[in-house]
């Protein structure tokens, strides 16, 4: 009797905590969504109850017609797709070679990559600026792609190599006996088996550029080359408080991300734990 | 060549290979394909040599002031520095290739002595293509990492020993010079304001990283356990909601919070006032201590889902047999959690605390987009460092707004030193290290 009473209190407490956390999690998101549709520009005029100000699509219209938003979106998409594709190609070949071949300086290279992956690439940002200037890649999207790819490589090569190390060597040896070349073993055996980790890599390296701020700020100068993070940031600087337009612009980016995350949460958990814990 | 000829050639490969890249391959080893490639590399290097020596010379001097020339034609010290570092990288690359060519010559010599025959040109091409596979395959990765990761790191370490800063030493109008340890002396002890700011920012960076990691770790674990324990039917709903902060890009969520927390017109204060909980607006982001508190709390909002997901992963890995056995032995829910789930989850996720700490040291987004490093404190006008600035956001300000590149680089060096133990940790925990591959 007392035990079942205790259990009921227990589950009520848990439910109460879950509801409180839900409110805290959802509250700012609701405000962002409501601001995206609210008339007016300034946050000061907004009601404290979400969606109480009425609805208008004016901000979306403003973004699409009066600002460079479509251009920022396109630029960011180009950078994200190229970074993702480039990282996949370079990291998977690199990982395959590190996993399957013996060659001079292999040990030293593996060690230096492990050490490099701890240092964030923007501590060298002044130098990256000058290097890009030297290569004529300043204010270009491909320059930004190169910076992202290079910064990720030490980590991603290790990640993929660790995965490939667990693929039985008997598989490639069998193919090799049948006369398959290195490239053929790589493309017909190793790559298909590594698909889970490569998918994870493609998704994460695609997602990262969407909201990075420091490198675009340094590398991209001209207005037509800006990315989303820079553009959205410019709506809410101290000089400029255009919260409702910012909210509308943010909503357009956030929705695909949220849908994707919720749809893939099961495999997300699996790849997070295998990527982070087992190594 | 016949067998005696090969025997006669023995021992000649080493001096020849050392004398000129590929020479041994072209002569005694008769491996023309490899030899031509190696020799080509050395010829290119020799052609570039005069230029390289000039660049190394400029690396030492960083250029002389050329006040008589118009600004556009003056030498740029920073280009000299970057070219010098890139030249050093190229020389290192050449040295590695040279070493590989000598090793390859010795290996080929050894192989020829064993089987006593030479490869036909066709076989040579086949063997070369196969061994070139890993060289060609790795080349893009090596070149990218070399020029966009290693060279910049060395460059910024170098800048810490120069006077590259506004207003007196910005090329091309003015030159930059090596100043030895002067920047370190000034930042660590020389100028009171800078030394004070450095201590303040450094301590806050470490405290911030600890608080941010621990709150998110335990917050995430708590939510995972609560969800797992509850027998509610709408569990998947809660789970989907709790993932939201992780799915929303940090720039967006932090900038939204920045506006909601605004002291004058933010929704947080307005809501609290409407409920009668407070009488006057609280300056969440304008008081240095409240702002620090806000940064940690908002980071908890954004960061707990990651650890919640990881804890889910770790919990599903626990075999149900163990908990079932404990249940049969009469262990209560709390006991099962305390003695089975918690230790196993802690064991699996503990390394991530350390990784996450290193990540938070550099968590630019969580601080900068919420507070921009503000509010200003006494030394902010001189040093640019605000009340919530961590090392990386201060580096950003020193670089972008104050153009004190020399001080920014000193801070980068400090970050290297702080992160070095993490690099070693990272290294030791890999399977390759444990299995002796490294």
Identify the CA nearest to A101 among candidates B130, B95, B180, B395.
B130
Please state the ipTM of this predicted complex.
0.83
Average pLDDT over residues B378-389: 77
Q: Does A32 touch chain B (CB under 8 A)?
A: yes
Our CA-based measurement puts residue B189 at a distance from the nearest CA of chain A, in whole angstroms, of 23
Number of Cβ pairs < 8 A linking chain A and chain B: 283
Q: Chain A: nearest CA to B6, how far in angstroms?
A: 26
Residues 210-269 of chain A whose Cβ lies under 8 A from any Cβ of chain B: 210-211, 213-214, 217-218, 229, 232-233, 236, 241, 243, 246-247, 250, 253-254, 257-258, 260-262, 265, 268-269
Coil, helix or strand at residue B379: coil
Pick the CATH number of B191-434 from 3.90.1010.10, 3.40.50.11890, 3.30.70.1380, 1.10.3720.10: 1.10.3720.10
Name residues 153-192 of chain B within 8 A of A (Cβ). 153, 155-156, 159
pLDDT tens-place values along chain A, 279 residues long: 466 777 778 778 888 888 888 988 888 888 888 888 878 777 666 777 777 777 777 778 888 888 888 888 899 999 999 999 999 999 999 999 998 888 878 888 888 888 787 777 677 777 888 888 888 888 888 989 998 998 888 888 988 888 888 888 888 888 888 888 888 888 888 888 888 888 888 888 888 888 788 888 888 888 888 888 888 888 877 666 778 888 888 888 888 888 888 787 777 766 666 555 443
Work out the end-to-end distance of chain B between its first and last CA atoms, rounded to an integer number of angstroms: 41
Q: CA B430 to CA B433: how far, in whole Å?
A: 5
pLDDT tens per residue across span B251-297: 888 888 888 888 777 778 778 877 877 777 777 888 888 888 989 99
Tell me if chain B has a CB within 8 Å of the CB of A128. Answer: yes
Dist CA B345 CA B309 (whole Å): 12
Q: Please name each of the domains of chain A with its CATH number.
A: 2-56 (no CATH), 61-278 (1.10.3720.10)
Distances (CA, A) of B319 to B89, B333, B341: 51, 16, 10
Measured distance CA(B42)–CA(B37) in Å, rounded: 9
**Cβ contacts of B250 on chain A, cutoff 8 Å:** 211
* Cα nearest neighbour of A230 on chain B: B251
Nearest CB among B135, B226, B271 relative to A17 is that of B226
pLDDT tens for B76-124 read: 777 888 888 888 888 888 888 888 888 888 888 887 777 766 667 777 7
For A208-238, give one letter per residue: b (16+ CB within 10 A) or e.
Answer: bbbbbbbbbbbbbeeeebbbbbbbbbbbbee
pLDDT value at residue A279: 39
Segment 94-113 of chain A within 8 Å of chain B by CB: 94, 96-97, 101, 103-105, 107, 109-113
Q: Do B134 and A253 touch (CB under 8 A)?
A: no
Q: Is the CB of residue B216 less than 8 Å from the CB of residue B356?
A: yes
Mind giving me the DSSP string for B130-173? HHHHHHHHHHHHHHHHIIIIIHHHHHHHHHTTB--BTTTB-TTT
Chain A positions in Cβ-Cβ contact with residue B409 (cut-off 8 Å): 126
- B200 pLDDT more than 80: yes
CA distance B393 to B254: 15
Interface of A with B in 156-215 (CB under 8 A): 157-158, 162, 165, 181-183, 210-211, 213-214
Res A86: pLDDT: 94
Smallest Cβ–Cβ distance between A127 and the set B135, B155, B250 belongs to B155
Judge whether A213 and A229 are in contact, CB under 8 Å.
yes
The SS3 of residue B178 is strand
The separation between the first and the last C-alpha atoms of chain A, rounded to the nearest angstrom, is: 49
Enumerate the domain spans of chain B: 3-159, 191-434
Tokens of B109: 């010599």
Q: Which two tokens stand for residue A2?
A: 């007392």
State whether A116 and B266 contact (CB < 8 Å): no
pLDDT band at B5 (very low <50, low <70, confident <90, very high): low
Contacts of A113 in chain B (CB under 8 A): 145
Write down the pLDDT at residue B118: 66
Per-residue pLDDT at A278 = 42
pLDDT at B3 over 60: no
Share of chain A above pLDDT 90, in %: 8
Report whether B239 contacts B227 (CB < 8 A).
yes
């Amino acid at each position: 009797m007392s035990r079942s009473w205790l259990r009921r209190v227990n589950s009520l407490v848990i439910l109460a905590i879950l509801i409180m956390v839900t409110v805290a999690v959802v509250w700012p998101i609701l405000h962002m969504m409501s601001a995206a549709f609210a008339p007016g520009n300034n946050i000061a005029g907004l009601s404290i109850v979400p969606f109480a100000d009425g609805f208008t699509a004016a901000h979306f219209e403003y973004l699409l017609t009066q600002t460079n938003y479509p251009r920022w979106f396109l630029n960011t998409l180009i950078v994200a797709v190229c970074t993702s594709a480039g990282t996949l190609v370079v990291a998977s070949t690199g990982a395959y070679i590190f996993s399957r071949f013996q060659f001079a300086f292999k040990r030293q290279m593996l060690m230096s990559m492990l050490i490099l992956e701890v240092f964030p690439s923007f501590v060298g940002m002044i130098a990256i600026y000058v290097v890009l200037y030297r290569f004529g890649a300043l204010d270009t999207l491909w320059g930004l792609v190169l910076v992202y790819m290079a910064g990720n490589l030490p980590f991603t090569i290790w990640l993929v190599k660790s995965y490939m190390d667990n693929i039985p060597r008997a598989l490639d040896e069998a193919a090799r006996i049948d006369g398959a070349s290195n490239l053929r073993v790589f493309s017909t055996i190793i790559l298909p088996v590594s698909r889970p980790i490569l998918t994870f890599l493609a998704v994460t390296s695609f997602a990262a550029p969407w909201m990075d701020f420091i490198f675009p700020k340094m590398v991209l100068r001209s207005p037509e080359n800006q990315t989303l993070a820079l553009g959205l940031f410019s709506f809410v600087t101290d000089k400029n408080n255009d919260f409702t337009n910012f909210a509308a612009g943010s909503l357009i980016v956030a929705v695909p991300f949220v849908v994707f995350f919720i749809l893939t949460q099961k495999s997300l958990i699996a790849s997070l734990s295998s990527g982070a814990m087992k190594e | 060549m016949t067998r005696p000829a090969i025997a006669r050639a023995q021992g000649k490969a080493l001096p020849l290979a050392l004398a000129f890249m590929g020479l041994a391959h072209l002569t005694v080893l008769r491996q023309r394909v490899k030899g031509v490639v190696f020799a080509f590399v050395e010829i290119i290097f020799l052609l570039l040599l005069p230029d390289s020596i000039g660049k190394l010379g400029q690396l030492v001097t960083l250029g002389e002031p050329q006040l008589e020339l118009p600004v556009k034609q003056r030498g740029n010290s920073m280009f000299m520095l970057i070219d010098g570092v890139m030249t050093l990288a190229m020389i290192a690359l050449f040295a590695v290739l040279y070493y590989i060519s000598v090793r390859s010559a010795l290996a080929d010599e050894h192989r020829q002595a064993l089987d006593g025959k030479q490869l036909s040109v066709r076989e040579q091409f086949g063997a070369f293509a196969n061994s070139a596979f890993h060289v060609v395959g790795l080349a893009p990765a090596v070149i990218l990492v070399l020029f966009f990761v290693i060279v910049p790191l060395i460059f910024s370490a170098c800048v810490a020993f120069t006077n590259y800063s506004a207003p007196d030493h910005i090329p091309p109008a003015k030159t930059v010079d090596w100043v030895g340890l002067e920047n370190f002396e000034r930042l660590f002890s020389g100028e009171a304001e800078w030394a004070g700011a450095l201590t303040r920012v450094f301590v806050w960076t470490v405290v911030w990283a600890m608080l941010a990691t621990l709150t998110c770790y335990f917050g995430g674990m708590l939510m995972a356990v609560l969800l797992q324990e509850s027998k509610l039917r709408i569990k998947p709903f809660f789970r989907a909601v709790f993932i939201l902060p992780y799915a929303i890009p940090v720039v967006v969520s932090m900038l939204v919070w920045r506006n909601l927390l605004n002291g004058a017109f933010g929704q947080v204060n307005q809501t609290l006032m409407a409920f009668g909980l407070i009488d006057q607006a609280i300056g969440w982001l304008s008081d240095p201590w409240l702002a620090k508190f806000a940064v940690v709390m908002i980071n908890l909002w954004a960061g707990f889902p990651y650890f919640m997901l990881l804890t889910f992963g770790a919990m599903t890995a626990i075999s149900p047999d163990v908990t079932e056995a404990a249940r049969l032995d009469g262990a209560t829910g709390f006991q099962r959690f305390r003695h089975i789930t918690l230790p196993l989850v802690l064991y699996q996720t503990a390394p991530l605390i350390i990784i996450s700490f290193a990540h938070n040291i550099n968590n630019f987004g969580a601080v900068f987009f919420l507070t921009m490093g503000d509010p200003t404190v006494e030394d902010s006008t001189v040093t640019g460092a605000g009340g919530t600035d961590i090392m990386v956001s201060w580096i950003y300000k020193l670089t972008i707004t104050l153009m004190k590149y020399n001080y920014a680089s000193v801070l980068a060096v400090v970050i290297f030193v702080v992160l070095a133990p993490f690099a070693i940790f990272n290294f030791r925990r890999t399977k390759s290290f444990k299995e002796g591959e490294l």
